[in-house]
Amino acid sequence: MGILDRTSTILRANINALLDHAEDPEQMLDQIIRDMAAAIGEAKGQVAEVIAQEKLLESDYEQNTRLATEWGQKAELAVRRGADDLAKEALRRKLDYDHNAQTYGAQLEAQRALVTKLTTDLEQLENKYDDVVRNRDMLIARHKRAVAEQRIAQTAAQLSAIDPSSQLGHMEERIRLEEARASAAQEIAGSTTENRFAALEQDDDVDRQLADLRAKVQGQLPAPTA
């Protein structure tokens, strides 16, 4: 029976597992609630149908049992009156009704088991439906919190893989290089004129030292002969 399979599937369903794989947990949960409500409606209709069939079988069983009893009594009456032919016919009919009663009895037993099964599944489905409806908001909140915790854990793992000291060291080297370039530019711009004067003073010193050196060398040479 289709409704039995569908009801059993819903009863076995793990709502949390379904939400974990859903792109939109809230929409998924609402769809589950709608499916459960539809299954409950169908199950109620089928339970009513199998109960009706049970009542029909019960009526047929009771009727055939009653008729078998009546024809048995008629067979006894015919025997007492010495009407063996009527007694035999009554016994034949009694056997037919006994056979029918046994057949209806077996069907009735199976139908009662089916009614019990469907009724139990329906009660369980209604209980689960009430539980899901009652805890809908809590389930959604729990799922959102679990997703948020997973994202936090992933972000923390990514941050732990970063070496801040390496990044800071690289930044410090860049800053030092920029500072050195700025200092060099200032030194070049501010000392050009001073360097020119320093060069002139250096040339004067060289000239003086050259003159002194010449005088010294000439003083050490012997006087020229006549």
List pLDDT tens digits, range 46-95: 889 999 999 999 999 999 999 999 999 999 999 999 899 999 999 999 99
Average pLDDT, integer, range 117-135 = 86
Output the pLDDT for position 66: 96
What average pLDDT score do residues 196-220 get? Answer: 70
Confidence category of residue 164, pLDDT binned at 50, 70, 90: low
CB distance 136 to 28 below 8 Å: no
Q: Taking residues 155-161, report their average pLDDT.
A: 64
pLDDT score at 87: 92
**1 has pLDDT over 50:** no
- What's the sign of the alpha-carbon dihedral 76, 78, 81, 82? negative
Domain borders along the chain are 2-160, 165-217
Please report the DSSP string for 63-96 in residue order.
Answer: HHHHHHHHHHHHHHHHHHTT-HHHHHHHHHHHHH
| Residue 211, token pair as written in the block | 């003159």
Q: What is the pTM of this model?
A: 0.53
What pLDDT shows up at residue 220?
A: 67
